[in-house]
A = this chain, B = another copy of it.
Amino acid sequence: MKPKIADVAKVAGVSPTTVSRVLNNRGYIGEETRVKVHNAMKELNYYPNEVARSLFIRKTFLIGLIFPTTSNPFYGQLIFHIENIAAALGYKVLLCNSQGRQDKEKEYLEMLQRNQVDGIIAGAHNKGIEEYEKPNLPVVGIDRYLSSAIPVISSDNYDGGKQATQLLIRKGCIKIIHINGPISLETPANLRRKAYEDVMIKHNLTPITYEMETYGTDNSEIIKRLFDENPEVEGVFASDDIIASQVIKEAKSRNYNIPSKLKIIGYDGTETKKLMMPELSTIEQPISRIAEKAVELLIKQIDSEWDGAPLETKLPVKLIDSDTTKK
């Protein structure tokens, strides 16, 4: 059986209270007793039981993470940073892959409450989860509007969309098409589309946006349709690098030369993307800064130090002008 405070106390010849005091460096303790207790702890290989501790202090130092899937390098990298920063601040993370499924997200939300997490960072969202409306718990959203009172962290999606579109225009593209996720999901990422449309119109060009199905669906049909309906396309701004990679694949199979005939730019710019497809131009999100801000804001809420603002934080993106947008 695992040793508990009482066992340590017995070995050290003191009371459980004293052991607890040594453990938490609380109140005054004699130097001798401190040494005795430390020795006893070492001898028994004692570890304090955080579950009992959590129960008493009513705080777990646990943060719940709800994201679609760690399989996607963007979320993988984001979660890596979140976990890291949280760990540095004494918090642990409970991981949930919602797979974009509303039922799963609801279940996880309940599970996290039962497990008394101190707060939640969520990047998954299927509209209409009323649980977020009455947040009896600190929550921070990443690229997702969860409810009117929940702060959101994201990259500067409008600026990103603007830079991407402007780059294609600057490189001489006229017929430029945008591919985005479902607009019904009201995410800040919709601003990428808005910026694309604004820039196109400003340049007297016609915006055409193809909309993808929700997460997890096979989108190759939509991309095929894009090429069938617009054989003369010169530029594609895909709302993430994975979609961009699918566009590249389809374009190659149709013998479009990239970048001379067709230029492509994506969005995200993960480390994995940089290694696996360095040739793809993209808008790089400041993933580690997003993670930092999210954790910072969540912990502020947990410590009741948050005054309700800012409700929206937009972090600057970085244009990566690589081979797929060469002139």
A interface residues (Cβ-Cβ under 8 A, vs B) = 2, 47-52, 54-55, 60, 65, 69-73, 75-77, 79-80, 83-84, 87, 92-97, 110-111, 113-116, 136, 241-242, 245-246, 249, 270-273, 275-278
Contact = CB atoms under 8 A, between A and B. Distances in A.
Contact of A249 (B55, B60, B87, B278): B278
A272 B116 contact: no
Identical chains bound together, number: 2
Contacts of A270: 71
Contacts of A47: 110, 113-114
Contact of A70 (B77, B116, B249): B77
A71 B276 contact: no
Nearest to A113: B47
11 contacts: A52-B55, A70-B70, A71-B77, A71-B80, A71-B272, A73-B73, A75-B76, A83-B96, A242-B276, A249-B278, A272-B276
Nearest to A115: B50
Nearest to A243: B275
Which has the most chain B C-beta neighbours within 10 Å: A47, A60, A93, A111? A47
A246 B97 CA distance: 30
A224 to B, nearest CB: 16
